[in-house]
Structures are given as C-alpha cells and as structure tokens.
Structure 1
Amino acid sequence: MTANPLLRSCALIGLLGAGVFQSALARDYIEHSLDGDVLNLKLSDAQVTLTPLNDSSIEVHYQREGIKQLPSFAIASTEHADVDTNLEETPKELIFELDGLTAVIQKSPFSIQYLRDEEPLIREESGFFATETIRGFRFTLDEDEKLIGGGQRVLGMDRRGKRLPLYNRAHYGYTTESEQMYFSLPAVMSSKKYVLLFDNSAAGHMDLGASREDLLQFEAMAGRTAYIVVAGKTYPKLIENYVDVTGKQPLPPRWALGNFASRFGYRSEQEVRDTVDKFAEEDFPLDAVVLDLYWFGPDIKGHMGNLDWDRNTFPQPQKMMADFKERGINTILVTEPFILTTSKRWDEAVENNALAKDLAGEPKRFDFYFGNTGLVDVFSEDAGDWFWSIYDGLLQQGVGGWWGDLGEPEVHPADTVHKIGMADEVHNGYGHTWAQLLHDKQTARYPERRPFIMMRAGFPGSQRYGMIPWTGDVAREWGGLKPQVELALQMSLLGFGYTHSDLGGFAGGEEFDRELYIRWLQYGVFQPVYRPHAQDHIASEPVFHDRKTRDITREFVKLRYRLLPYNYTLAFENSQSGLPLMRPLFFTDESNPDLIDYKDAYLWGNDFLVAPVTDAGIDEVTVKLPGGVWFDYWSDELYSGSDAEVEVDLETIPVLVRAGAFIPTIDDITTTRDYTSKHLTLDYYAHPTAVESEGYVYEDDGKTVDAFQRDRYTKLQFAAKRDADGIQFHFDREGGGYQGEPAERSISLNIHNWNMANSTIAVGDQPLEILDRERDFQRATQGAWLDKRNNQLRVKFQWSNQPLTLTVSH
C-alpha cells in the first residue's frame, strides 16, 4: 500500500498545516432550499445535501462538478424515514434541528458543527476537500476525547493518535500488534457518544490526531464524498441509532450458536464422516462441519474456482450432507471469488461475463499464491447471476451455510476494472457486495430460510446481509489470543456483533500447547461463534487431543449448549437494536472514561463479566469491575469495588455474574436442533443491593425468518423484588408462541447467596414444601431444599405459561 503514489499524497496532505489547507479551501454559503426534510445548500464551490436518516442521524453529502460519486454502501435503505426537522436562519447561521441531533451551519466561512441537546459533539475544521488525486474531510477533536473504531487493528481500544490505513488486507499470523488487517472500517465512535462514518469504499486513511492532535482527517483517493453523523445519549442508544442507519443484523439460525468442527482442511468425505463420528463417540455436542478448499480439489494450488465437488475424494456429497442433517449437523462450504485459469470454470466464467476486466476490456488475469486467476466482478449483474447459480445448485444439494474467504480481496491489482469503478475505488466494498449478493439472492429464492454467511472482509453496514466476520489467520500462540477481545469489541461496537476468532489459533505452532488450546476454547464459550479452526498439522478439534484436554473442553462445550437460552436471547437483542453480544465494561459505568481503554475483560450480554486467561501458568487474574456486586460463576464468591483478584486453575477462567441476574440454562443436548426449555433452570443471584431486577428468555423455533415480527415467538419474563420480608418473583409470558413450544415448563429456581433456614415459600397462594434431604428434593417434581453447603435455596415448580408469583419469605 505504501508504494501507491496516490496514498503517498494522502500522507502528505495529512501533514499540511491547518492554515494553509483552510485558505486553499475557503468556501461560502450562497443559498439553501428544503425538499421535505432534506436540506440542500449551494456553496461557492460545491453542493451539499443534509439528509436526516433518523431522529439522531444525518448524512452530509458534498458534491462538486467533475468528482465522480459512487452509491452509498453504508446506508441500509434508499428511502429514509420521515423525520421531524426544524430550520431556523440568522444572518450568520442556519440551524437544522432534529430531535436528537442539531447541525449548526456557519455561512462564512462555511462550516458545520453538530450538537446533541446543545452539547457540542464535533465540528468541521476545513470540512470537505478535494484535489485531482485525493478527497476527504477534516474535523476538530476535543482535548480529552477518546476514539474507538477503524475496524480490525491491534492498537489498543483508544485509537486516538493513530493514522489508520483504510484498505482491507490480510495479515497472516498476527499477534499483539497490527495496524492493518482484514476488515477496516472508515468510522469512529467517540467517548462523547457520537459516531462519524465516512461512506467511501476507496483506499485511503483515517488520521485520528496523529498528524495534528486536535484534528481528525479522512482521506481517500476516490469514492463518495459523504459522511454520516450519529448521536445517542447512551452507548447502547448510540449503537441502536447507528444500526438503524446501516442496517440490523438478521437473527441467524440457532445452529449458528452451536459447536463447529473445522480445520484447514478435511481432505476426503471419509475423513469428514470419521470426524463427525468422533464428536459423537467422545460425547461432544456438534452443529456444523466446515469444509475448507479440499472439497473442490486435492491440492492447495491450482483448483480454486472449480466450485464443485472433487468426486474422487467426495464421491457422495449429497448423501453425506443428508446423513449429517439427520443428525442435526449442517455443512458449511468455503468459497472464494477467485477463478483460476486452471480451474474447471474459467471458460464458463469468461463466457458469462463474470470476471473483472483489464484496461483493454478483457478478463483481468494475475498471479497470486493459489495460481493464475481472475476475480469475479461482484458489482456486475451478469457476474452476480452466474456466481449465484453455482451457490443455488449447492444449496439444492444440501449445503447449510457459506464461508466466504479471501474477500478483501486478498489480491486486487489497481488496474482491475469493475462494473462501477477501478479496484482502488471499490476495494473496501468488495466483501460487502459479495455478502449482499449471497444474502439478497438466497433470501429471494428461499424466503423462509435464514442465511449463514461467514466472511472476513466488508464495509459498514455489511451486518445487514447476515455477515459473520472472524479475525483472520491469527498465530497459534499466546500473543494471538491476547488481542481477541479488543478485535471483537472494536467490530461489535460498529455493528458486527458476531465477530469471533479461530479458537485455538490458526497459523503455525510447532507442537500442541495444551494450556493455550484449553484457554482459547474456554474463552470461546463466551464469544459469538464457537469454531475451533487451524492448520491441520495440529488438530483443531478437541476430540483428537489427550484425555485431560478432552475432559476439560467437553465441559465447556456442554456449558455453551446449556447457555443457549441466554445466548440466543443475546442474538435476538442484537437483531432488534444492534446491541453487541460482547460488550465493553464502560457500558455499565459510562462515567468512568478509563474503562474505555480496558481490553482484558468484557461483558457477555448484560450479566456475565468474562476475563480470558491469556498467559501461561496463571493461577490468579486481576479483573477490573464496572461497579456493583459480582459473583464468581464457579464458586459464588462475592466481589465488589474497583478490582477483583480471581483465582483460577486450568479448569476455570474468570467468569463473574452480576448481582440480581437471572441466568437461564437448559439440560444437556447434543445439537441445537434438540433445544427445549421444557426443563428450564434459572440461577438467581440474590444480594441486598439488588432490590429489583428482571430478565427474559427469547425463544422461537430457531429457523423461521422474521419470527418476532410474525409473532411466532415466546418471551419468558422474570422479575424479582426484594424487601425486608424476602423476595417476590414474577413470571410471565409474551408472544404468539412457536411450533414445538412446551405447553408447560418445569422450572428449577436456584437462589444463590441465601441461607435462611426459616424461609417459607408460596407459589401463588399455595405453600411449597421445603424438603429436608437433597435426595427427596431431586426426586420431587416440585418443592424446595436449602443447600447449606453452597448457600443456595433450590426451588422446583411447574409453570403453565400463565402469570405466576413465587414468594420467598423469612
């Protein structure tokens, strides 16, 4: 990238002084007009359109004659919702007011400042600029402002002071430092609770106070000259406003939250079958098997682009996938957008006008690691139709989901001509458009099927196409594990709530490191997708390791499945509001700016606090606490204050539960297809500080598209209120229900931190017997037992889905 002369000019502009640059770009207001709620401005050197996208978001699009514009990739809908606006004019200003965001437009010299409830958020410095080779924007930054964003980088949570390349590029074998990776995002989230997004897919940079500490500068060599400002009063509300603009992630199939068998790669049908059998033999739940590139060829090189089964090694793929489906196991295939000239489809791709062109208008050919190749032009309708026809055929054979690899694209010569522009104009929009192609065509063809689309590169808004990103070819060492929380949080805060890592690490590794492997798989229970994956000289699957490794990891994989009610509810919340599954600690304590920098622990949903163990030989971990009281999930030990010293052994990592939380679990199952809440366990963490609390479980059949909107769901709602006499629990149910829902549920309520022997319990107005012995309690269908050893009151009762009150008095 640094060899590109246009990007070198970007860097030079980043070093220009503000005075020189502003004098070159001084502009004045001439006139304005309103088109509904859209404000159009005529300036001395450009046209500017301010389009409200919701009550707290505005798109600002500068256009100047002679500067090519591309369509928006980031905005979800071309038809924005009606927004109430108010426009006031003074001799010096225009004030364009939305309910949650105000643009104050200075007429001369022209600039725009943004406020939320009269609080200044961000202001254009010289604003829009454009030369023959570069275009972009400049904004001022406050002295104490922190900035999250830029996508996948290993730089620390606050990216202030960094200059970030914007060019999706693979970083093989990365560890604790990386300035440029697979998935760059031209967007930042500020500690002042705004998001600034540059809707431009071209190669460029974001300078976040590196060249001048009070300046944020976006630079691109081409592309759309537009930015979007989003505001919110809280971080969750800010994210909700942001995904309202860029699109919400659809709820994936429930099996996406299960355990995956995956490696680079399975070389035959028999090897895949043997692997699936090994998971069953070793009593590991399993929901998916992922086939890497050997499904279409016997070697790494020379076969990419075949996009069809190698029948020598996979003689009966349809039967194999059908057999797996009978067992509740889905098959995911890797595909790449490169069609090698040695592949079986090269001539077909050329005939169907599916490939990007060279400057002479012929299919562009170039060499990369896998061979001499062309690149599918996903921006072309002809190419999309051809590419989709192959995917559709595989879906009809029984494929369950897609793994789109190398979609940065990994190699993308600058002289490649796409339907809508040159390679460097659209590079960062390539993976985004590939995902859109798969999502839109699959949902049109199979409207009742939730897509599964895993890809490693995209653009802001790619989440609306169901994109599930991972963090690329991480090194299989402790340094590879260390940055995974940072990477996931950075992506999740800007819409990509399913960002996850190759559990165990992917690249390299001389020999199996049991401790590292176990620690990575333990962390995986509390990340969005559970997929161990690696180069196959060391097995990525836990079933092929020693007994101790199997025994420890088996319990964590089973815990992942027991937590399905909790995890699927997080997925539902993400589909409704964009709230990430993994959340930074500053969500809980927004008044503590230091927590923004903290990347050693995170919240899994609202009620778990997780700190992965990322060093060898650790028996104690210091965990920052975001206020409140927390319980150790394994021992019930209590923690409060600013830090917790949590003891661990090889069988545990620090997992804490918020006081007042309801943690729902189900009995062990072998595949998510067998999910049922007929027997539902609720662990409630009682504490005097938790006076009132509530929670819920969202359920549907795990596969119906838009189940919530179609009223084919159930919400099981729980609430607790504590007073001097005890705790009163309320249970309720909402929704039209779903096929297979239990008509009645057996509830096991475990009240932690409760040791009062004189308690009385009533379900409604009916007393519940407190049994003397654990054995009698285990045999009973309802009743209670005081577990004095563990300081818990255990209660069983039947719930027929009607409103119910349970009272524990002392």
Structure 2
Amino acid sequence: MTNKIILRFSIFLIVVLASFSAIAQNSRRVYQSHKMNGNQLELITNDGNYEIQFYNQNIVETAFIPKGEAGKGESTAVVLQPEQTSVTLIEKGNELQFLSEGMNVTISKSPFDISYSYKGRQLLSEKEGYIKTDSTENIDFTIDKDEVLFGGGARVLGMNRRGYRLQLYNRAHYGYGTHSELMNYTMPLVISSKMYAVNFDNAPIGYLDLDSKKTNTLRYESISGRKVYQVIASDTWEGFTYEFTNLTGRQPMLPRWSFGNFSSRFGYHSERECRATIDQFLKDSIPVDAIILDLFWFGKEMKGEMGNLAFERDSFPTPEKMIADFAEKGVKTILITEPFILTTSKRWDEAVKEEVLGTDSIGNPYTYDFYFGNTGLVDVFKPKAIDWFWNIYKGLANKGIAGWWGDLGEPEVHPAGLQHVNGSADEVHNIYGHYWAKLVYEGYQKDFPNQRPFILMRAGAVGSQRYGMVPWTGDVSRSWDGLKPQTEISLQMGLQGIAYMHSDLGGFAGDNLDDELYTRWLQYGVFQPIFRPHAQEAVPSEPIFREAKTKALAKKSIQLRYQLMPYNYTLAFDNNRTGLPLMRPLFFEEQNNKELLSVSDTYMWGDAFLVSTITDAGLKEKEVYMPANSVWFDFVSEKKYEGGKSYTISTEEDHIPVFVRGGSFIPMIKGMLNSKNYSLENMELHYYHDMSVTAGKGHLYNDDGETCDAFEKGKYELLSFCSAFSKSKLKITIATEKGSNYKSLNKNVNWVIHNIDKEPKKISLGKKSIDFIWDKELKTLRFKGNVTEGNQSVTIKLR
C-alpha cells in the first residue's frame, strides 16, 4: 500500500470515526425519568435535561440543558409569556404524549426520540437532536421529502430555500442581483410549506442547513449558546403569522408620514443642496414627506469623520432653522447614524473616556481599520454606552429630527477578537442591530413617549419588528437583475415577522442611467411598505432631477401612493394588531396549490390588490395568475378576469399590472402634497361589485398619525364596510367605531361603484333617494354621501 493510499485511508477512517462518534454520542442518550413542573414537562436523560413548555396551543418550546450547564438562558427573540394553556401528559408503555389542544409532543423513551404534530398532522421529529462536536453545537431534525422551506432571513435564492446550507452571519452584499446566499439580515428560523416554523432561539453565529445533503435533514449549527427552539404551527398562513408575531412581538404603528415619499440619496452635501431639493419637489408639485441626510451632515469627506455625530456647521450653518423650515412645509428630517466612532472623529476621546466602546481582551478600546477609517465600535449592549448613545439621539431629536437611519449595523466589520459586555463579537454579532434598534425605540418610550419613532436599519434579528425597525434590502445593484429579487426578499421577510422590508427604489449600486428601470421600480414601490428612492449620487434617485417623461411617470406613481394612503395605513394597523404582512405570497390565497409556493413576482398587497412586477426591459406582455375563488378587475382598464387561471396581460408604460379583488373596498384621497394635509373629510370609497360576490367586506383605520399606541388609548376611529347582493339589489353598510378619546370629523364620501353594466333604477342613502352619475363606458357609478357616527346603509337597485 503506497503512502498516498495509506494517507487517504487514514483520513477516511478519521472522518468515519468522527461521524460515528458524534452520532453515537446522541444515539446513546438514555431516558431516565420525567416529571411535571407546573405546565412544564422535564425529561431527565443521562447527558442532560429537556424542558418542554407550551406557550399556547399553537406554540411549544423545547430546551436541552446539558449536564454541567446551569439553565437555558435568556431569549432575545421571544416576548410572549406562557399562557395558562390546558395541557395533558399521557404515559403509555414506551411513549409519553405531551399535548395541548393543538400540538402533540411525542417522546419515545427507547430509543430516545421527540416528534411534533399539530391536530393529527405530523410536522417533524428530532433526528439526532442535540449533538456537540469539537467546534459546534447542533440540533437536527427529520423532515418530509416534499416540504418547501422558507426563512433564514433575507436571501436571494428563490422562494424555496431547501437544499442550501445558509450561513448565519449578518453581512452586506454590495451590488447583488439575482443570487445572494448571505445578506444583511439573517435569522435562525425555518418555515415549512406545512404551515409550521422552527425558531432556533439563539444569538451566536452559525449555519442553518436546509437539507443541503438531500437526506431530509434540517440542522441548526452554532458556535455556542442556547439549545432552545420553538415550534409554531397553524391551520392557515394568516394564523401562522398571527402566532409567530404573538411569540416574537408585533410592529408598532409607524408615523403616518412614513407611508409618503422620501427624498434620499448618497448623499446631500450641504444645507443649500437640501433646501434646493425640497423646493424643487414643491415647485414640481411632487408629493414628499421626508428628506434623509446621509453621512455628509456630520463631515465634508466620506472617510475620516464618521462618529462626529454633530452637524458640520460649515456646510450646514443653520440646521435647526432648516429642520424647522422643512417641518413647516410638512417635510420631516431624518439623519443617518452609524455605530462606528473613528479614532479621527471629534468624539473619539469622549467615547474612550466614557468607556462606551467594545474592548480587547484586557479592556482597552478595540480599534481596527475598515473602509471609513480606523475605528472603535459602540457596545450597544452596555448600559453606560446605551445612555451615552441615546443622549446624542435625544439632543438631535430635541432639535426637530423626526427619524433615524441606522447604517452599517450588521455590524459591517466586526472582528472576532472584539469583546462586548455580554460576550464576544461572534456571540452577539447577529443581535447587534436588534439591540441598536431597541436602544432607540426604548429611548423614545422614555423621553418622547408621545412620538412614534422611525427607525430605518438594514440588520436585525428575530423579533426586531417589535422595536419599530424598518429594514431595507441593502445595497442592491441598480439593474434589472437587482429589481428581480426584491419581491422575494420582502415576501420572505414578511413571513418571518419583518413586514416593512423594502428596497432602495430605482436601485442603489452603480451609475446606471436607465429610465425604464427607474420607472418600473417606482411603479412597484407604490405597492411595497416604504416608498424611498435612494442611490449613489452620480445618477439622481430623486424624480425631480430626471428627464421630463421619466419625471412625469414617477410623479404619477407617487401621486397614486398618496391616494392609497388610507388603504396602506389600514394595512399597517392590521399588521400591528395581527402580524399579517402588508405584502403576502399568493399561497396565502390557495393553501393547497403547491405551484404557488415558488411564485414571488406576483403577490397580494393587503387583501384587495394583486400586483405583478415588470422586471425585464422592453417587456410587452406578462403571464399573470389570478387566484381562485375570486374575480379580479384591472385597476386601470376595469377589465374583469375570472380567478383560478393565468392570463397574458399586455403591459403599459405608465403602470405595472395591478388588479382588485371583486367585493373589495378601497378608500382613497386625492390632492395631497404631503401627509400633513391628510384628512378623511373628503374621501373616495371604491367598491368593486360583481354578481358572483354575494357578500364583501373591508375596513378603514384612522387616527392622528403620530400618537403612540393610539388604538390602545382610544384615540382612533374604525370604519367597517359590508356589502350584500341578491336579486338585483346591492346594499352597502358602513359601521363606525370610535375610541373613547377620539373626536371624528363628518366625512363627505365620493362613492365609486365599479362594474355596474346597466344604469341603476334608484339609489337610497338610508331612506332618502340620492342623485347619481353612471358612466356607461367605464361601467362605474358615482354618487355622494355623508358619513357620520353610527351605522349607515346605501341601497342600489339594479336593472
């Protein structure tokens, strides 16, 4: 036997023995006993204890605590307290069954095994369960061979992420396009097409293996930390998102101006440039609600000045007046901040003196080089650093700053040797952005309790939505390849609780002047959570600086965005109350249609709109699937389509394909230049009638757009709409609900009823006949009515 053959055989033998050792370690796990601690089941084995506990009938948590470890530790993801759920423990021979009304945890004593089912539907089972190797701690499961897997945070892999081993390490991917395995926002969370999820409730870096070896194995690998996971299951996708956000927290209501248009670029160099830009928006009558200042607000140069965190008075001589002047015009000012304090910045000595930076192994500030200079990093986990950083935010907020852009918060460069107060860089890297958002959010709760914060950040963790985080998809390529995956990222993140994921409209990276691309991206932006064109400045991101035709098309999209603000704001309310995403995959509509599990370029915007993006240059037509059990109307042409099949849709220059579900109510407002002028006093209410729809419903939420917890404080109104159709009579009812501390205005409603193909005989508001206008060509019926408190009804007698 040659030396080379001997070497190969030795390596093979080592690998086999190592694999056998890892498997054997777990295969030798022996059940010894069990006991109940209240509603918690404790299993004692030869190498550690399991603690299994229901949060409610849909959510169960399993924690493994190896011998020698004190406990399971604290969660950074979970906020739900276990409810008083009815549980049952059944012991029968070799088997234990621990049951809620929905979930069943089955434990085999020998060989030791744990499996999960929901209402008789098998979900998954531990394969080898917890395994400790020389470098990692793993938990693995057996899954079905046909499951489609979502999750893992923000990636560009197609909707089905099965087959990938995903690194869990938040890291920016500059200029990405149609494929990205690692991006700014990773999560140790997997969601199955069987409507369940496993959340590996642990912070340190690692991997999430979604059956990469095609052995029907799901595996979580981490360098250290908690051996804890939750299984969440439901009968419906709506129920799933409700339960998952019940567990991890729900997004607070954003200020209403957040749903308007942002003026943003990398970046505005001076106060004069900022003022001129906003003046041009107003001159062109293009609605705008906010301006975002990138890093030049605190320094003239791109490098060497990060961490100053104060206005550069040479280029911004009167920032307080600028902020106030913008506010008078209804325009909010947002500042970028980063957690890096450069050694060349004006705050370096202060940061060192106050001991707010991550350290080396002996307690000195840890410094290192990255793109912007030599730097330290704020330790956002350290109470002293939290107070220091927040006081800077507080001082600027007192000057009128209305929102914050937290950039580079992965953190972008985070050396493994850097120590935080609660662990090494690698142990806390993936929750850094989460705690940064928490710092800002809780600062507002303490010092500005009546102001809703706006917190734009690109990196977070499971549950960051509860701190009001508004994430974006990172430094996407300014190209058609960059536009293509934007819906996939947002739909995936919405499933994972992060409903406000959105993109730099028009694309960010690269000096590509493509007017068609820009137009199509902004048309998509109307139907995504935040409308914010942003890019490197060589090619302008703001519509006011584009050529006339492109500007006009962009203006039309922005105006539509503002017209839909009542509808969009209601979506935000629904998300706040239930966790339901604003953007929803088509499989929410047809839960048994497996073909829809891979679709991302067509999606639901709320319950009423079906949106299909255009992501190829010069595209003349597109196949669009219309979900079954509904009829659909082209939002522009009014053409009707039966659901349950695909249609070839001809594309138009001034809009992307958008359709409205029959039986939907769409509240709209016209004429706003920004949300400062928002009022429902004169509103349009569109209803899409079809003879096949015997009952329709919708609702409209309203408050002052700025009070925190307005709903909880009774400072709101809620209008509920219902339609009933039978025997040529369409009856629409409006019911009003007013919070105990809210004074509502009477509303002059301009009704628009769609798909009325013959002139009605009579329209009555209550018992009073009213005038109407019927458009034969458009098949629309228009009339006016006044909505006051209480219930009202409109009856339309059709021919």
- After superposition, what is the alpha-carbon deviation per residue over 1:189-231, rounded to whole angstroms, capped at 9, x for unaligned? 1111101111112111111111233100110111221111101
The match for 1:660 is 663
Structure 1 counterpart SS, 2:126: strand
* Paired residue type of 2:390: W
Q: Which residue, out of 689, 693, 704, partners 1:690? A: 693
Is the 8 Å Cα contact of residues 151 and 183 (structure 1) preserved in structure 2? yes
Q: Does 1:728 align with 2:716?
A: no
Is the 8 Å Cα contact of residues 755 and 793 (structure 1) preserved in structure 2? no
Is the 8 Å Cα contact of residues 22 and 133 (structure 2) preserved in structure 1? no
- After superposition, what is the alpha-carbon deviation per residue over 1:576-615, rounded to whole angstroms, capped at 9, x for unaligned? 1110000001101111011010011110000101111101
How far off its partner does 1:438 sit?
Answer: 1.1
* Paired residue type of 1:401: G
How far off its partner does 1:35 sit?
Answer: 2.5
- Where do residues 397-416 of structure 1 align in structure 2 (5 Å cutoff)? 397-416=399-418
Q: Which residue, out of 455, 458, 461, partners 1:456? A: 458
* Paired residue type of 2:793: T
The match for 1:586 is 587
- Where do residues 51-62 of structure 1 align in structure 2 (5 Å cutoff)? 51-62=53-64
* Paired residue type of 2:273: E
- After superposition, what is the alpha-carbon deviation per residue over 1:315-345, rounded to whole angstroms, capped at 9, x for unaligned? 1111111111111111111111111000011
Q: Does 1:282 align with 2:284?
A: yes
Q: Does 1:789 align with 2:790?
A: no
Distance 1:329-1:31 versus aligned 2 partners, 3 A rule: same
RMSD of Structure 2 on Structure 1 (CA): 1.8
Is the 8 Å Cα contact of residues 721 and 732 (structure 2) preserved in structure 1? yes
Q: Does 1:650 align with 2:653?
A: yes
Structure 2 counterpart SS, 1:112: strand
Q: Does 1:675 align with 2:678?
A: yes
The match for 2:710 is 707
How far off its partner does 1:118 sit?
Answer: 1.4
The match for 1:539 is 540
Query: Which is worse superposed, 111-120 or 562-571?
Result: 111-120
Structure 1 counterpart SS, 2:145: coil
How far off its partner does 1:15 sit?
Answer: 11
How far off its partner does 1:730 sit?
Answer: 0.8
* Paired residue type of 2:417: D
Q: Which residue, out of 267, 270, 273, partners 1:268? A: 270
- Partners of 1:228 and 1:168 lie apart in 2 by 22
How far off its partner does 1:70 sit?
Answer: 5.2
- Partners of 2:420 and 2:111 lie apart in 1 by 39
The match for 1:313 is 315
The match for 2:34 is 32
Is the 8 Å Cα contact of residues 711 and 739 (structure 2) preserved in structure 1? no
The match for 2:599 is 598
- After superposition, what is the alpha-carbon deviation per residue over 1:90-121, rounded to whole angstroms, capped at 9, x for unaligned? 23222211222221122222221111111111
Q: Does 1:362 align with 2:350?
A: no
- Partners of 1:806 and 1:710 lie apart in 2 by 32
* Paired residue type of 1:674: N
How far off its partner does 1:18 sit?
Answer: 8.4
- Where do residues 232-631 of structure 1 align in structure 2 (5 Å cutoff)? 232-510=234-512, 512-627=513-628, 628-631=630-633
Distance 1:678-1:425 versus aligned 2 partners, 3 A rule: same
**Structure 1 gap segments, 5+ residues each:** 1-11, 769-782
The match for 2:5 is none
Structure 1 counterpart SS, 2:173: coil
Distance 1:758-1:417 versus aligned 2 partners, 3 A rule: closer
Is the 8 Å Cα contact of residues 164 and 209 (structure 2) preserved in structure 1? yes
* Paired residue type of 1:245: L
Moved beyond 6 Å, runs of 4+: 12-20
Query: Which is worse superposed, 756-765 or 288-297?
Result: 756-765
- Partners of 2:302 and 2:94 lie apart in 1 by 65
Distance 1:617-1:740 versus aligned 2 partners, 3 A rule: farther
* Paired residue type of 2:672: I
Structure 1 counterpart SS, 2:668: strand
Sequence identity, in percent?
46
- Partners of 2:563 and 2:742 lie apart in 1 by 21
* Paired residue type of 2:255: P
- Partners of 1:394 and 1:109 lie apart in 2 by 61
The match for 1:119 is 121
Distance 1:83-1:647 versus aligned 2 partners, 3 A rule: same
- Partners of 1:295 and 1:186 lie apart in 2 by 36
How far off its partner does 1:20 sit?
Answer: 6.2
* Paired residue type of 2:652: D
* Paired residue type of 2:679: T
- Partners of 2:16 and 2:405 lie apart in 1 by 41
- Partners of 1:766 and 1:434 lie apart in 2 by 58
The match for 1:773 is none
Is the 8 Å Cα contact of residues 248 and 464 (structure 1) preserved in structure 2? yes
Is the 8 Å Cα contact of residues 364 and 374 (structure 1) preserved in structure 2? yes
- Partners of 1:453 and 1:489 lie apart in 2 by 20
- After superposition, what is the alpha-carbon deviation per residue over 1:226-279, rounded to whole angstroms, capped at 9, x for unaligned? 111101110110110001110011111111111100000000011111111111
How far off its partner does 1:67 sit?
Answer: 5.5
- Partners of 1:283 and 1:358 lie apart in 2 by 54
How far off its partner does 1:450 sit?
Answer: 1.0
How far off its partner does 1:36 sit?
Answer: 2.1
- Partners of 1:399 and 1:34 lie apart in 2 by 53
Is the 8 Å Cα contact of residues 714 and 738 (structure 1) preserved in structure 2? no
- Where do residues 168-247 of structure 1 align in structure 2 (5 Å cutoff)? 168-247=170-249
The match for 1:167 is 169
Is the 8 Å Cα contact of residues 507 and 534 (structure 2) preserved in structure 1? yes
The match for 2:789 is 801
- Partners of 1:653 and 1:245 lie apart in 2 by 36
Q: Which residue, out of 66, 74, 77, partners 2:77? A: 74
* Paired residue type of 1:533: H
How far off its partner does 1:711 sit?
Answer: 1.5
Q: TM-score, normalised by structure 2?
A: 0.96
Q: Which residue, out of 74, 96, 99, partners 1:97? A: 99
- Partners of 1:110 and 1:17 lie apart in 2 by 21
The match for 1:718 is 721
- Partners of 1:404 and 1:644 lie apart in 2 by 43
Q: Does 1:138 align with 2:126?
A: no
The match for 1:9 is none
Structure 1 counterpart SS, 2:772: strand
- Partners of 1:457 and 1:690 lie apart in 2 by 43
The match for 1:6 is none
Is the 8 Å Cα contact of residues 755 and 786 (structure 1) preserved in structure 2? no
* Paired residue type of 2:462: P
Q: TM-score, normalised by structure 1?
A: 0.94
Structure 2 counterpart SS, 1:324: helix
Structure 1 counterpart SS, 2:398: helix
Is the 8 Å Cα contact of residues 54 and 245 (structure 1) preserved in structure 2? no
Distance 1:111-1:786 versus aligned 2 partners, 3 A rule: same
Structure 1 counterpart SS, 2:416: coil
Query: Which is worse superposed, 435-444 or 580-589?
Result: 435-444
- Partners of 1:476 and 1:186 lie apart in 2 by 29
- After superposition, what is the alpha-carbon deviation per residue over 1:401-431, rounded to whole angstroms, capped at 9, x for unaligned? 1111000010011111111111111111111
- Partners of 1:309 and 1:199 lie apart in 2 by 40
